[in-house]
Structure 1
Amino acid sequence: MPSYKAPIENVRFILNEVFDVSEIAKLPGYEDATPDVIDAVLEGMAQFCEEVIQPLNLSGDAEGCKYENGVVRTPKGFKEAYDQYVAGGWMGVTSNPAYGGQGLPHTVGSVLEEFVTSANMSFGMYPGLSTGAIRAIEHWAPEHLKQTYLHKMVAGTWSGTMCLTEAHCGTDLGLIRTKASAADSDGSHKITGSKIFISAGEQDLTENIIHLVLAKLPDAPPGVKGISLFIVPKFLPKEDGSVGPRNGVMCGSIEHKMGIKASATCVMNFDEAKGWLIGEPHKGMRAMFTMMNAARFGVAMQGLGIAEVSYQNAVAYAKDRIQGRALTGAKEKDKPADPIIVHPDVRKNLLTMKAFTEAARALSVWVGMQLDVIEKHPDPKVRQEADDLLALMTPILKAYFSDMGSEVANLGVQIYGGHGYIHEWGMEQFVRDARIAQIYEGANGIQALDLVGRKLPQNMGRPLRRFFHPASQFIEAEMENPALAEFMPHFAKAFGKLQQATAIIAQKGMSNPDEAAAASTDYLRMFALVAMAFMWLKMVKVAVAKLPDANGRASFYDGKIKTARFFFQKMLPETETRFRTIMAGSKSLMDLDMEQF
C-alpha cells in the first residue's frame, strides 16, 4: 500500500525563503495571513490528508462509486471523511468571510490542493468543484442568489458542479443544445437538456448539490455568444434556507472510467428544472470562465500532487529494493545485493521526478500569488500586471504540470518494475488517475492553442512582458554572480531561444494560422521548461546564500543545488529540440491528404 507525507519542509522553503509569503499579509483583507497562521493551516491539512483521506485512496479506487436508480453512493469511508473535512472548516479556507469563509490567500489554497490530490485525487474532486462554483457565484450572481447559496456552499453542507459538456460537443460549447425558457414570474427559467462528464454531479456527501449549467435562451444568438449560465439546485431551497422539494434534475448514469474511480462522473438530465440566471443573458461564458480558469489552475495542482506522491513512493522503494550490484563495486557488502537507487538509470528517473516537483511547486506559488494580488492589491496597475501574468501562465501550468504528472507517475511504475503493475502497490493507480488531467478542463492541445492564439497576441503582447521582463532583469542582474555561474549561461541561452521562437510564431501565424498551431505544443513545453529553470535559479540563489550557516539544514540546501544541476544539464536541453521542431513548420503535419491517414 502506498504512503504519503505532506512535503511541509519544501513548501516552507518556497513560501518563506524563495517567495516571502509575509508580503501577502500586507494586502488589504489578508492581515491575519501571517506565516505562523499559514504554517498552522498547512500542518492541519497535512495531518488530515495523511491520516484520513490517504488511507481511503486505494480502497476507494477498488470499490468505486455505485449507481442505482438515480442515486450515487461513494466508496466506504468517503462520507465520514467528508464530514471531517467540513467540520475542520477546510471547505471555506479561501472563501469570503462575508459568507462564512476564512478568507485566507489563494496561495495557501493552491498548496492545500496539492496535498489533497497527493493523498486522494478522487476525494479532492468533490470539494474542488465546489470551490470553483463558489467563485463563479460570488463574482457574477445577484446578491439574493449569493445569500441563498453561498453560506451553505462555503460551509460544505451544499456542494457545487460545473455542467458544460454535452454528448455531441466538448470544447466547442457553441454547439450546446440545452435550452432555457423565458423567465417565470419568480424570476426562474426552465432548463431542459443533458450534460455529460459532470464530476460530483450526484453523490451522498452533501444534502444539496448546486449545478452551474450552460444553456441557451429562446432569443440566443448562435455560437458561444448565445450561451447563458444558470444556477440549478438539486433541491429547491426554502425561504428559511433549508432543503425543499426535488428539482427536475436527475443523474442518468455514471461513467466507468480509467481512473479517479471514487469520483462520480455523471450524466445529468435536466427536465424543465428551475434555474436562475447568473450574470447577463448570453454572457454565460464570461461567468463560467471564472470557474474554468480556477479549475485549470486546480488541474495543474493535481499534476503536481500526483507527481509528488509518485516520487515519494518511488524513492522509498528504490532505497529498500535490493537488486544487482553497483557497476562501480558493491555499496552494501553485508547484503546480497545493492538497493536499486545505486543504478544510474533509476537515479535519472528519480531526479527527473524530483526536479519537476520542486520547481513546479515554486512556479505554482509564484503564479498563485498573482491571484491574491489581483483580488486585494490597491494599485490597479499592479493588479493588471498580475492578471496578465496569471492569464499567460495558466495554460502553461495546466498543460505542462498535467503532462509531467502523468510522466512522473509512469516513471514511478518503472522504478517499481513488475510490482508497479500490481494494484495493491498503488503505483498503477497514480498512472490511471493522472491521465485525466491532460484531458479535462480543456485538453492540453487546446491549452497550447490558447497560449499561441490568444495570450501571445493579446494587448500587443502585454501578458508576455510579465514573464519576459523579470526573466531579462534576472539575467542582467545575476549573469556575473559567481554562485550562479554554472547555471546562468544555460538559462540565458534557453531564454533567448524562447524569445526567438515567440517572434517566429507571431510572424508566421499572421500569414498562416496552421504555422502557429503546429508549433503550439512544442512552444508551450519550451516556455514551461524556461519558467522552471527560472524557478530553479531563484531556489539555488537562496540555497547558496543559506548553505554556509545552514547548521542542520545543510543537506537540504545542498540537495537543492545538486537537483538544479541535474535539471540544467539533463532537462533544460529539451528546449533545443523543441526549438528545432518549431522551426520545422507545419508542412509535414498538413501535407498528408485526409484519405492517406
Structure 2
Amino acid sequence: MDYHLPLRDLTFLLDEVLDLDKTLALPGYEHCDKDTFFAVVDAINGFVCDNLATCNEAGDRPGAKLVDGQVYAAPGFADAYKVFCEDGWNALALEEEYGGQQLPFVLHAALREGMAGSNLAFALIHELNFGVVEALMAHGSDHQKSVYCPQLTSGNWAGTMNLTEPHCGTDLGLIRTKAVANDDGSYAITGNKIFITWGDHDMSENVAHLILARVEGAQPGPRGLSLFLAPKYMLDEENNTTSTRNSITISGIEDKMGIHGSPTCAISFEDTKAWIVGEEGKGLAAMFVMMNAARLSVGQQGLGIAEAAIQTATTYAHERLQGRAEGEHWNPEGPADPLMAHADVRRRLLTAQGEMDAARALAYFGAGLLDEAHRAATFEARGEANTQLSMLTPVLKSYLSELGSRMANEAVQMHGGHGFIKDYGVEQLVRDVRITEIYEGTSAVQARDLVTRKVRGDGGAVVKGFVAEMLAEADALGDDLADVNIALRDAAARLARCTDWVLSAASGDVLSGACDYLEVTALSLCAWMSARIARTASAGAGQQSSDYYADRVDAALAFLARALPRAISHEIIMQAGEPGQIFRADRCL
C-alpha cells in the first residue's frame, strides 16, 4: 500500500484556512518562518515514505519477539528508529533547553499524522518518548529533567507509561502496585502492569519507565497514587547507562488484534528501584500531563489512518474495472468501467474527502491552540487557549479515532473481497486503528469528561463561544455559499440546543446521552471548519489551482449535505427515553 502525507491539502489548510502566521509569530518560534515550516513538512513526507511505510507490512507479520526476557523489535524497525533519531524527528517539538528543536506543535501534528498513516505501530514509540518528557518537564525534579530529558529528547533512551493492571483499566483508583521507601530516598516498586505500549525493546540504550503506584500506607483510591521513574538499566555516578539491570521482568508480549510491530508488554516489578516524580499522592495529576498529550496524539493517529485508507481506496477505485456505469462509458475500449465511474462510489469517496478535510482542519486548529497555550505572550491568552483546548481534547480523541475506524472499513468495502485479504494492506488498517478508540480512554470516557468536567464545569462557556464563532463565520459567507450558510447556522443552533440540554437535564440522563452529545459537538465544529474551507476556496486567492479550489468547495458541500445530518439523529437519540429509563435497564439486561 502506497502512502504519502497530503502535502497540498496541508499547505492549503495551514497557509490559507487556519492562521499559521499567528502561530509562527508566537514567542519561541522566531527561528521558524513559513518557508522553513513547509520545507520540514515536505521532509516529513520523505522520511515516512522512505523509512516507515517500507517496514510497516514487514513489521506486522512477525511483530516484535520476546527471547530470554529481552524484547526484539520487528524487522526493519531498528533501522528506521536510528534514522528517526539521527535526523532529529524525535526532538521536533521538544524544548531547545534539552536538545529539542522547539518547532510548533502544528508542525508536530503533521509528523504525527504522517507517522500514523505510514506505520502506526512504529509511531507509538515516539508518542511515549514525547509524553514522558512532557510529564518530567511539568513535575520532575531538576535532577530528573537534566538527566532524563536530553536522553529522551534525542531518542537515545525511550519512555513508557505504566498504568493498567490485570484487575483495573480505566479505574486507576484500583491500582495495587505498591511503593516502599528506601533509606537512600528511592523507592522499591512491586506489582504487575499490562498493556504497556513499547514496554521493552532493543532499539534504544535504555528505557525510562513512568509507573503509577501507591506508597505503602497511602489512602485507597486515586488520591493515594504517586508517580515513579525507574530505568531499565541502572545509571552510574555520572548518569551513564550501565550493564546492571533493574529488577524489571517482561512477562510477555500481548497477542493483539493489530499494531503487531509495537511490543505491548506485561511487566512485573519486584523491588524495582525507582524515584518519585513530583509530590507523594499527586501521581495521577502528574500522569495526566502525559495522558492529555497522548489523547491529542491518538486523534492524530486516527486522522493518519483515515487518510491512508482514503488514499488507497481512491487509487483502487480508479484502477479496478467492474461493470458498466450508467450513461457514458469511462472505458469504452475495455471490458468494463473503473469503479470510480459508478455514482455511488463517487458519492462515498467525495463524502469521505469532505469528512477528512473538516476533521483535519479541526485537528490542526487544536494543535494551534496547543501552541498558544504554551507560548502566547500573555497569561490571559495562554489561559484562554488552554481552556478551549481542554474542551476540545476529548472531542478530537474520540471523533478522530472513530473516523479512522470508519474510513479503514470504507477502504475494505471499496476493495471488496480484495480488501478482506492481506494483499492490499487495508485489512491491516482496520486491525491497527481499532485500538485508538480504546487506549487513553474509550470514547465513552471522553464523552463523560466532555459533559461533566468540561461543559457542565464551566456552564457551557467554551462551547457557547464556539457557537458564536460559527455564527460569525456564517455572517462572513457570500451569497455564492448560501447552502453552506444554511447548514452552518443549523449546526450552530443544534449545538446550542444540545448544550442547553446537557446543562439542564438530570445527571443520569446526561451521562446516558454523552456519546451522542460528543458526536453532535464534533460534527458541528467540523461544519464550522467546512464553512471556513469553502469560503477560503471560493475566494481562490492562494497558490492552488482553480480546479483544486473547486474540489475543496465540492468536498465541503458533500460533508454538509451527507455527513453533518448524522447530528440530527444524535440529537434525537441523546434525549430519547423517559427519565430514568437507562437506570432501570438492569431489569431486562
Compute the TM-score of the two structures, normalised by the length of structure 1. Answer: 0.96
Map 1:36-47 onto structure 2 (within 5 A): 36-47=35-46
Name the SS for the 1:120 alignment partner: helix
> Do the aligned partners of 2:186 and 2:273 also contact (CA within 8 Å) in 1?
yes
Shift of 1:583: 2.2
Map 1:137-536 onto structure 2 (within 5 A): 137-185=136-184, 187-244=185-242, 245-475=244-474, 477-478=475-476, 481-509=478-506, 513-536=507-530
Name the SS for the 2:138 alignment partner: helix
Name the SS for the 2:202 alignment partner: coil
How many Å separate the matches in 2 of 1:73 and 1:352? Answer: 42
How many Å separate the matches in 1 of 2:84 and 2:294? Answer: 20
Shift of 1:40: 1.5
How many Å separate the matches in 1 of 2:265 and 2:102? Answer: 31
How many Å separate the matches in 1 of 2:217 and 2:562? Answer: 57
Range with greater deviation from structure 2 (431-440 or 465-474): 465-474
How many Å separate the matches in 2 of 1:566 and 1:272? Answer: 58
- How large is the Cα RMSD of the aligned pairs? 1.5
Range with greater deviation from structure 2 (238-247 or 84-93): 238-247
Corresponding pairs, count: 588
Shift of 1:343: 1.3
Range with greater deviation from structure 2 (240-249 or 459-468): 459-468
Q: Please name the residue that 1:580 is paired with.
A: 572
Q: Please name the residue that 2:553 is paired with.
A: 561
> Do the aligned partners of 1:214 and 1:229 also contact (CA within 8 Å) in 2?
yes
Shift of 1:387: 0.7
Name the SS for the 1:332 alignment partner: coil
How many Å separate the matches in 1 of 2:458 and 2:336? Answer: 61
Range with greater deviation from structure 2 (222-231 or 585-594): 585-594
Range with greater deviation from structure 2 (32-41 or 108-117): 32-41
Amino acid at match of 1:259: G
How many Å separate the matches in 2 of 1:160 and 1:353? Answer: 36
Distance 1:20 1:337, change over 3 A: same
What whole-Å deviation, never above 9, does each CA across 1:294-343 have from its counterpart, x for those lacking one?
00000000100000001101000000001101122422211111101111
> Do the aligned partners of 2:74 and 2:261 also contact (CA within 8 Å) in 1?
yes
Identity of aligned residues (%): 37
Shift of 1:589: 5.5
> Do the aligned partners of 2:460 and 2:503 also contact (CA within 8 Å) in 1?
no
What whole-Å deviation, never above 9, does each CA across 1:231-276 have from its counterpart, x for those lacking one?
1111122222321221111211010100001000000111111111
> Do the aligned partners of 1:518 and 1:586 also contact (CA within 8 Å) in 2?
no
> Do the aligned partners of 1:355 and 1:567 also contact (CA within 8 Å) in 2?
yes
Residue 594 of structure 1 pairs with residue 586 of structure 2: yes
Name the SS for the 1:569 alignment partner: helix
Amino acid at match of 2:147: T
How many Å separate the matches in 2 of 1:348 and 1:63? Answer: 38
Amino acid at match of 1:531: L
Amino acid at match of 2:46: Q
How many Å separate the matches in 2 of 1:515 and 1:442? Answer: 21
How many Å separate the matches in 2 of 1:158 and 1:240? Answer: 16
What whole-Å deviation, never above 9, does each CA across 1:536-595 have from its counterpart, x for those lacking one?
111111111116x86x61111110000111111111111111111122146586265536
How many Å separate the matches in 1 of 2:354 and 2:381? Answer: 31
What whole-Å deviation, never above 9, does each CA across 1:442-497 have from its counterpart, x for those lacking one?
0111111111111111233333244233223323x326x21321211111112101
Name the SS for the 2:270 alignment partner: strand
> Do the aligned partners of 1:385 and 1:466 also contact (CA within 8 Å) in 2?
no
Name the SS for the 1:459 alignment partner: coil
How many Å separate the matches in 1 of 2:121 and 2:479? Answer: 46
How many Å separate the matches in 2 of 1:508 and 1:280? Answer: 38
Distance 1:491 1:208, change over 3 A: same
Amino acid at match of 1:487: V
> Do the aligned partners of 1:544 and 1:557 also contact (CA within 8 Å) in 2?
yes
Compute the TM-score of the two structures, normalised by the length of structure 2. Answer: 0.97
Amino acid at match of 1:101: G
Name the SS for the 2:540 alignment partner: helix
Range with greater deviation from structure 2 (318-327 or 456-465): 456-465
How many Å separate the matches in 2 of 1:459 and 1:579? Answer: 21
Name the SS for the 2:183 alignment partner: coil
Unaligned runs of 5+ residues in structure 2 are: none
